[in-house]
Structure 1
Amino acid sequence: MEIRGDLPATYKCRNCQIPIAYRTELLSKSYMAKTGQAFLFSDARNIVFGQKEEKTLITGIYTIAAIFCTNCGEELGWKYLQASEARQKFKEGKFIIERSKISKHF
């Protein structure tokens, strides 16, 4: 774990700087979203959910919910609620956060 004092490295909303996820929750940097590169996280905080929707993405059909910053309302990405294909089930319950919407702080 990357540590400065007793605080882990944190990804924050680029717009308002509220904490969104910890470095230890980052699972992959190999995803794409609307604005380009996106990260897969196991958890996220300080977010609110949009409505559930079925969406066809590059790797299949998913039920997702958009996620927004609780502080400024910025759309950050989405949460995978359900995957239609067995090989994509590992994404369920995880979060895609667009790289352009967050910044890393140590």
Structure 2
Amino acid sequence: MRENKVCTRKMGRLFVVNLEGKIYSCKHCKTHLAVYEDIISKSFHCRHGKAYLFNKVVNVSMGENEDRMMMTGLHTVADIFCVGCGSIVGWRYEMAHEKSQKYKEGKSVLERFKISGPDGSNYWISHGTHVGGSDADDA
């Protein structure tokens, strides 16, 4: 059975959710972040290369909302941070300003460079990495 809840804090203690199955975790501290089954798209790109759009992520805290101009238009997003080590691991779409991008609202992007894959592999930046905006080329 797969657990998929947001981490909680009770009386100053942080409770981290452990996931089962094919897990994506923080590259630095191995905190569980998402499961393979929750991937919506693998066609996203960021400054460091590939990124995946997930339906759900866990064990993250959110930064402040801000408007960012991305390849697919203006979006209100919030950076997301690993609760285990504080590393930025991606961003969450809070609002899409264009009708065709509304499907992204409430979804999160994890940068492949910042996470370990289900098999323990890490993604390394290649010399041909796309260095434009941070959004999908074609979702």
Confirm or deny a common fold (TM above 0.5): yes
One-letter identity of the residue aligned with 1:9: K
Alpha-carbon distance in 2 for matches of 1:55, 1:84: 10
More strand per residue: 1
Task: Tell me, in whole angstroms, the C-alpha distance in 2 between the residues paired with 1:47 and 1:59.
Answer: 25
Cα distance in 2 for residues equivalent to 1:47 and 1:66:
10
* DSSP-derived class of the 2:93 partner: strand
**Aligned counterparts of 1:61 and 1:33: Cα–Cα separation in 2:** 15
User: What is the match of residue 95 of structure 1?
Assistant: 108
Paired residue for 2:28, among 6, 9, 15? Answer: 15
Gaps of 5+ in 1: 1-6
Q: Matched residues in 2 for 1:65 and 1:34: separation? A: 16
- Summarize the alignment of residues 1-106 of structure 1 with structure 2, pairs less than 5 Å apart: 7-105=20-118
Partner Cα separation in structure 2 for residue 14 and residue 30 of structure 1 = 20
1-side partners of 2:62 and 2:102: how far apart? 20
Between structure 1 and structure 2, the one with the greater Rg is 2
State the secondary structure of the residue aligned to 1:71: coil
Letter in 1 for 2:43: S
Q: Runs of 5+ in structure 2 lacking a partner?
A: 1-19, 120-139
Any idea what the Cα deviations from partners look like across 1:35-92, whole Å, max 9, x if unmatched? Answer: 1110000010000000000000000000000000001011011000000000000000
TM-score normalised over the length of structure 2: 0.70
Paired letter, 1:33: C
Task: Give the TM-score of the pair, scaled to structure 1.
Answer: 0.91
Percent identity for Structure 1 against Structure 2: 39
Q: What amino acid sits opposite 2:66 in the alignment?
A: E
Deviation for aligned residue 1:33: 1.1
Q: Give the whole-Å Cα distance in 2 for the aligned partners of 1:47 and 1:33.
A: 19
Corresponding letter in the other structure for 1:54: D
